[in-house]
Amino acid sequence: MSNSLPQLYVARHGETEWTVTGQHTGTTDLPLTERGEANARRLGERLAGHVFAKILVSPLLRARQTYDLAMLGGIAEVDRDLVEWNYGDYEGRTTSEIRAARPDWQLFRDGCSNGESPAEVGARADRVIERVREVDGDVIVFSSGHFSRVLAARWLGLEPGAGRYFLLSTASLSVLGYEHSLSEPVIRLWNGTQHV
């Protein structure tokens, strides 16, 4: 695989109280825990020395804190399309709580009542990818887990629901890129957590 082709680095935000409890955290603007802050700093250490042509950050506090603590330098642009999945009625609820009322529910297939569908999240991911592919050089985005999983699926040309196959840990680093040419998108690294 060629390293001369541009790459998209995907950083998931650090731990929050709700990632610990497994509650769906869409638009609730939670800060990082102390552990989340420490892991964001370690993420920055892992990325030290890498120069990014563009840095994009979700407007949510947890993503912005992760970026700030990683101390990459440069100016980040807030991109509203990087916000986490809107969970609607399921905001703050765990999967088991949701399935108590709806036993066959699957986020990546069904979306959320009064929230976003997989297609809506996929459309946001497509807009991010379009902007990233216009940049000459490597880009890094700071976002949330479920959105980043859809982003990976769409990068590969898969349906948004295929994001269900790409599990992500907090403060993880992933790299999307290409094999031989810009017409051959691949995942170069997924869910890298060696630094945490």
Q: Indicate which residues carry an active-site annotation.
A: 13, 84
Looking at residue 193, what DSSP letter applies?
Answer: -
125: alpha, beta or left? (left if phi > 0; alpha if psi -120 to 50): alpha
CA 152/CA 158 separation, integer angstroms: 9
Assigned token pair, 24: 């769906």
Burial of residue 180 (CB within 10 Å: 0-12, 13-18, 19+) is exposed
Three-state secondary-structure class, residue 107: helix
Residue type, 80: R
**Taking Cα atoms as reference points, which of 45, 39, 43, 84 lies closest to residue 61?**
84
Give the integer Cα–Cα distance in Å for 142 and 81: 11
Nearest-angstrom CA–CA distance, 137 and 59 = 23
CA distance 149 to 136: 24
